[in-house]
Structure 1
């Protein structure tokens, strides 16, 4: 309507509808390209940490700079009426759109404000700090300080700083940058804001689906309890709506992607590599971090949707999809635990035990020795891993919970 008033002096609904259709067509083509780009990132990611600052958030990226003040103003996010927002210059200043009409660039190709530095990379001091879990000692010896980015020692002084390093990969940053561009788009193309938000959701859904596909499809047990009902339903819905099943349906206009493959540089099968636990942790925890960034955008996204009836998909996304991300810890980490602890060997040893009670044995059975040895070896391997990547208390709890689950299941089956 504003465009028709600007150029024609009156409101023309036919022009409004035409502009909406053209915007939708343009955006659908742009989104298809970005989805293909994300597929490339996912298939080529080595699932290694990017050295970002401990305070890193999405709003520090260039793509979010123009939105930073609005996103950080929590009071405005909660109290501002959606209708009044649409009447503000941030949404309706047609001069923002005119400059793109008068140039050869689309607003998606325009350069961001280079006067604002993107200060997201960790400094040398931050890189050299060993990753300390919440239950570690405050002081650590200089011999244990390892630079996770370059894998070499830098300093001989004791470090007392605790850093909660965000789990971020190249793919995580790519998703956040594209989301920033999409939010820029939704400011100018308010008529397709719902479509833009739904497309942002697809990025997270594909990320979640691939983390499960890449890192949890190789565990060696058949227990259904490793998947919560919410996670199972979420994965089923994503696969139905977003993943092609191999057949081509000409009547289906829904944008879908092929089933992706894990990069060949990631080895999940070698025991001396802890069965790829480092990559699995980075994958799962980066997904959870990404979900937190989406969570920070929730109020802002709701402001973009004018009708309450259109918010159902957003409610489902936050209450089901984002919340189920943490549930991926159990199946993904169980894949490592099930490989590390050979349950078939334990059951074989248990079957050899003579359970007839004639004398009281002075020593325990051999399967107990094997279990004790495996648990100690697992603890040492996990401790060594903390020198390379941050292992939080939540991750440790999930790992040891899986160990307890597997051992209990094995003992019950053996008895």
Structure 2
């Protein structure tokens, strides 16, 4: 009977035998039989405890019903509930340890058994960067199974209460006490189990330095943790403070390094920028860039259903909680990975990008000669040399000419440069990070403001400053613009000298500031034949105005992400965005 897992039948038979044996206990042989029956009953309880522990990872209604009936026959319903919570705690520990151990040993590539003797926290520090995301995903999948089992356990007891209330309204006081105890124990266990889950995942999150992660990889980590926090909210209405604090620590650390690298990259872009038109269509909008696609998605895997816009196509499905969607099969973390893959494929299909390099072009139309006039497709004579280039060479020249002329033929086309487009893309990436992890929203928005400030400062120092009029280096400008530029120079620009005495100061400043950019040698502003670089000046200032307009269009979205206590910073930043941009246009020209 035990092999068939018929625990209630085995216990019932054993109890009946004990009852019969007690009638003839005055016989010595029966007394020995009664002792053996007691030993058998204890063995059944041990196997019953093992059977109870199995429900923690894979809940089966039939199996759990047999186990609970067996404990009820033994009169140990409360004991069973105490044991069940101990098993859930142990299941969480064993599950996370085995998942992480498997990846550590796999990456170690040897049969060394030292890892099996390590503490879980120490084991997490041996996860490699390549295996970090797969291990995190498997960790969350395994923990989901444990929490789902607990959720289904609670459902089972709730349904049993309803059935017994309907069928047997006059229950005994003992049964009522047991039911009340079980209900309170299960409700209390929700918070306890989720706390254990948070602590295990926290140890994993903090066990690795993520500062050198690729941006896309870090976004995946944030999205997985956000999905896990959504599970916690549905599981026990928790705000997941432990997870939020640990991922915030990693995010702030990562973002400081990421932002520093992006500022250096922006300086490189500015110093190599020739301030020529970037060919975009007249209807160009930042929402068309894949970095801003998240703003148009009505459903994000990292946001709780209570905070999402319900899709009109399938409202019933959208309103279901994760535990309702995956109560029988599937896993929310598997859906997360599939969602990300589909999203990437959709972007490639819609924009026609074939690689990261080609992504720098907003539209693929520029690689086509379909809109080139026939006379431009023919050989032409170079006006300066009189030579007739070969067709193979003229094709690239024609394409270059077409790109530069494309927007000039469209009066409504925005004027921007490759660097402007790069800044806009960075803003989209920063906002995506804010959207996934709101606790670091202020830190990210502060860095977003620095991107604009550095671009503004570069445009003015390149084209608007006239040092011959004033020794301060900021030229003859209005007091308001001077205040803005002074603020940027003091907070963002590394003005430290290279002398020996200032090396330490320079090293400290270098961590928080970025050197002032230098105008590319390809841009000549002293030639009267080009009206002292009039074309470049127009493109530079108009691109700054365009960038300011894009920031203004994002103000309402940024405002929703900014903590209430920090909103004055955002308001102050936007008060300085539009005025300096337009004013520099006048100063530059």
TM-score of the pair, normalised by structure 1: 0.60
Q: Which residue of 1 aligns with 2:567?
A: 311
Contact 1:43/1:261, CA 8 A, preserved across alignment: yes
Q: CA shift at 1:33, angstroms?
A: 1.4
Q: Which residue of 2 aligns with 1:233?
A: 483
Bigger shift: 36-45 or 221-230? 221-230
Change (3 A) 1:277 1:127: farther
| Distance in 2 separating the partners of 1:285 and 1:252 | 32
Q: Which residue of 2 aligns with 1:209?
A: 457
Q: How does 1:4-403 map to 2 (within 5 A)?
A: 6=231, 11=238, 12-68=240-296, 87-89=306-308, 98=333, 113-117=347-351, 120=363, 149-150=400-401, 163-218=411-466, 221=469, 226-246=476-496, 247=502, 248-249=504-505, 255-307=512-564, 309-333=565-589
Larger radius of gyration: 2
Q: Deviations over 1:29-86 (max 9, x none)?
A: 111111111111011001110111112121111211232468xxxxxxxxxxxxx999
Q: SS state of the match for residue 323, structure 1?
A: helix
Change (3 A) 1:18 1:168: same
Contact 1:227/1:330, CA 8 A, preserved across alignment: no
Q: Please list every run of 5 or more consecutive structure 1 residues that lacks an aligned counterpart in the other structure.
A: 71-83, 129-146, 156-160, 334-415
| Distance in 1 separating the partners of 2:292 and 2:577 | 23
| Distance in 2 separating the partners of 1:121 and 1:267 | 31
Contact 2:279/2:403, CA 8 A, preserved across alignment: no
Q: CA shift at 1:212, angstroms?
A: 0.8
Q: CA shift at 1:227, angstroms?
A: 1.8
| Distance in 2 separating the partners of 1:230 and 1:127 | 47
Q: Deviations over 1:233-289 (max 9, x none)?
A: 110000011001215536669621012111111111111121111111111110110
Change (3 A) 1:229 1:120: farther
Looking at secondary structure, tell me which structure has more helix per residue.
2
Q: CA shift at 1:184, angstroms?
A: 1.4
Contact 1:41/1:171, CA 8 A, preserved across alignment: yes
Q: Which residue of 2 aligns with 1:351?
A: none
| Distance in 2 separating the partners of 1:203 and 1:23 | 19
| Distance in 2 separating the partners of 1:199 and 1:173 | 17
Q: SS state of the match for residue 115, structure 1?
A: helix
| Distance in 1 separating the partners of 2:282 and 2:269 | 23
Contact 1:48/1:279, CA 8 A, preserved across alignment: yes
Q: Deviations over 1:337-364 (max 9, x none)?
A: xxxxxxxxxxxxxxxxxxxxxxxxxxxx
| Distance in 2 separating the partners of 1:52 and 1:235 | 30
Q: Please list every run of 5 or more consecutive structure 2 residues that lacks an aligned counterpart in the other structure.
A: 1-197, 199-225, 310-320, 353-361, 374-397, 497-501
Change (3 A) 1:329 1:5: closer
Contact 1:226/1:330, CA 8 A, preserved across alignment: no
| Distance in 2 separating the partners of 1:97 and 1:39 | 41
Change (3 A) 1:100 1:175: farther
| Distance in 2 separating the partners of 1:187 and 1:154 | 38
